[in-house]
Amino acid sequence: MSDPRLSVGVKLLREGARLPARAYEGDAAFDLFSADELELPPLGRALVGTGVALDLPPSAAALTLPRSGLAARHGISLVNAPGLIDPGYRGELRLVVLNTDPAQPFTVRRGERIAQLLIVALAPVALHEVAELSPADRGERGFGSSGF
């Protein structure tokens, strides 16, 4: 029986870089670890390298997402969350990390879990122009139209 999982190659680019890893079996995303060490000042942002590159197949892409624990405890997020890694990109995964705390600096330590990596399967999609859109219950209502 063949393995049904999508196979994604990961290359370690620097000494001390770590493979992305799931914290718990069954987790949707993999933790990404910092390969850099730096201090983020209050409200500061910086590029943080992970020391890894992906060999995504054409049928997949990856998204980088903030870690909820860092967000809740320290106000750490990613500026462009989710960040998109296209299947043809072979460079180092780097994250635009943001310290949203207005008073406290945050130290990014080498080897620390800094973000999450979600691998997503891509369905073949073809866009085509139409004169009219099909009807839907929601229609054009957006930006808070559900009342929440």
- Report residue 148's pLDDT band, with 50, 70 and 90 as the boundaries: low
Q: What are phi and psi of 73, to 5 degrees?
A: -85, -35
For the whole prediction, is pTM greater than 0.85? yes
Query: What does the alpha-carbon distance between residue 141 and residue 132 come to, in Å, rounded to a whole number?
Result: 17
Q: Is the pLDDT of residue 146 over 80?
A: no
Tokens at residue 53, please? 């590159």
Question: What's the whole-number mean pLDDT along residues 75-90?
Answer: 96
- Report residue 143's pLDDT band, with 50, 70 and 90 as the boundaries: confident
pLDDT tens-digit profile of 90-126? Answer: 999 999 999 999 999 999 999 999 999 999 999 999 9
Picking from 13, 51, 8, 60, the residue whose alpha carbon sits closest to that of residue 32 is 51
For residue 37, the model assigns a pLDDT of 97
Given 3.40.50.2300, 2.70.40.10, 3.30.210.10, 1.20.1260.10, which CATH number is that of 19-121? Answer: 2.70.40.10
CB-based contact 45:94 (threshold 8 Å): no
For residue 130, the model assigns a pLDDT of 96
pLDDT tens-digit profile of 8-55? Answer: 999 999 999 999 999 999 999 999 999 999 999 999 999 999 999 999
For residue 62, the model assigns a pLDDT of 98
Domain ranges of the chain: 19-121
